[in-house]
Structure 1
Amino acid sequence: MTREPLPYAVNLSILFTELPLPERPAAARAAGFEAVEFWWPFATATPDTAEVDAFVAAVERAGVRLIGLNLFAGDMPRGDRGVVSWPGREQEFADSVGWAVRIGERLGCRAFNALYGNRIEGAAPDQQDAVALRNLGLAARAIAEIDGTVLLEPVSGIAAYPLRTAEDVVGMLDRVRAAQGAANLGLLADLYHLTVNGDDLDRVIARYGDRIAHVQIADAPGRHEPGTGELDLFGYVDKIGAAGYRGYVAAEYVPSGASADSFTWLPTRQGVTP
């Protein structure tokens, strides 16, 4: 039986950054995308209602679907990579979950990425992991109310980030399920991060294909668009589809030039005409 090719989305927190955020959904639509995702699009875990309304309006006005949203992750430009495991920031995380659920209700988003967070000087790893178990359980329960899924991903480039492989992530997901009874959790398979961290993508797909709940791509080395590095990205995407994944594949790369000029790979994959 012939499978339909997996559809593609674009991450608008790393692409089209030459434009103000409210203009990016329309630019994505003009480039041929019908679906978009974002990192946490606000400066704090508690945006005001006007900020949220403006974000929702920009997505709706562009006629695109929001298919992925990060939860609040701290100060990313300064090196933070999430607050899930950060003792003392539980309320911020809970606040961002509440706002994410509201946004998901309005825009139909059902996938929410919870960046785990770095190891922190002065905090024992076991203490951080205990905080993470509680936070991920809270997020899973809240997001289950809109039939959503909490995603967890390996991250590269930050030595203090403890989840580096698919095995690391799946192990934590299993701990959350056992401790919190949460089932709506899944692996975000970012093929760039996995590769850079030394994971064998064929082994990851064979072993954890049924745990993959979201996919992101960038070529390696360089984290640029497909075709600029050495990865057989579309071959791996096809294998993920053969393993049963039916969601979007999000382009989450740093364009090597202007964002709008970096999609030459896209029409040959899904017949999109910009």
Structure 2
Amino acid sequence: ASVALSCNFFGLKSIIFMTRDSYLKKPYRVNLMQLAKAIVYPSPSNATKCGRKLYKENPNHSGSLGIGMGEAMEFVRSSSKYRLALGCMSYYAALHQTIIGLETQAQLKSVNIKPDIMIACVGGGSNFVGFTAPFIGEKLKKKNKIRFLAVESANIPSLTKGTYKYDYQDYYGYTPMVKMLTLGHKFVPPQLHSGGLRYHGKTPILSLLVTKGVVEPHSIKQEDAFIANKIFYETEGVLAAPESGHAIAQTILEAKKAKRAKKTPAIIFCLSGNGFLDLAGYAKVFGLHTTELYHEKKSSNHE
């Protein structure tokens, strides 16, 4: 949505390839981009040759970030007027998001809090790297002893079960190969509500940090992420995105562990997004009714 909004600000046309599973399960995210005049394709789509091939083979294909990336690259190559904007895997995205870490650093300093543990969810890795990079830089200089926990979906365990090797960043092999923790560029994740985590590998920066033991990899099941988000909403009044729920679930685990050990560490986690555009997912996971269905049920009970 940020790409669509930014393009609209500058009078540019935006074309978005969104994983088909997310496109179908998160219609309000599609609408948000359409409000900014974006054209949004469910990937795999009929807009590209590579997308049409996958869609023909399996009309129910759930898609992946790697497939969407490949479709966008094919589309861009069709005209010299097009430009490509990629997100989670790119170095510039990770660098841009360090503003989050710098602001967090300044906020903690203003209240005299020194973190002991920092936690963030991981799809491609830019969110995590942006949040933790300023602190990791200090740790590498031996200025802190913070534990950094990168939390991925248990359905896409690149950090915890992937192989550290050179691999393509997209499904089709259009991109240069980079060394990263990967499940293989042909990996297609199962259907899940955390669309932002649907990626086969992790950015080379994070992959190296995990391999060197600077960052601890962890994985959380989708149902546990939703349960954690419900607890957070009930206690804090903030509804987090399904992706963020992985970090919240891990935070709860770390807090309970510290309580058992009678310790009080300062645990800082990244709330990477709100969940108001994911209410359809919440309704499905927790069996919530819609107003229409509720009134139909009430009417039938009175008859």
Same fold (TM over 0.5): no
Q: Which has the higher contact order (CA 8 A, sep 6+)?
A: 1
From the CA coordinates, give the structure whose radius of gyration is larger. Answer: 2
The TM-score with structure 1 as length reference comes to 0.29
Please state which structure has a larger fraction of its residues in helix. 2
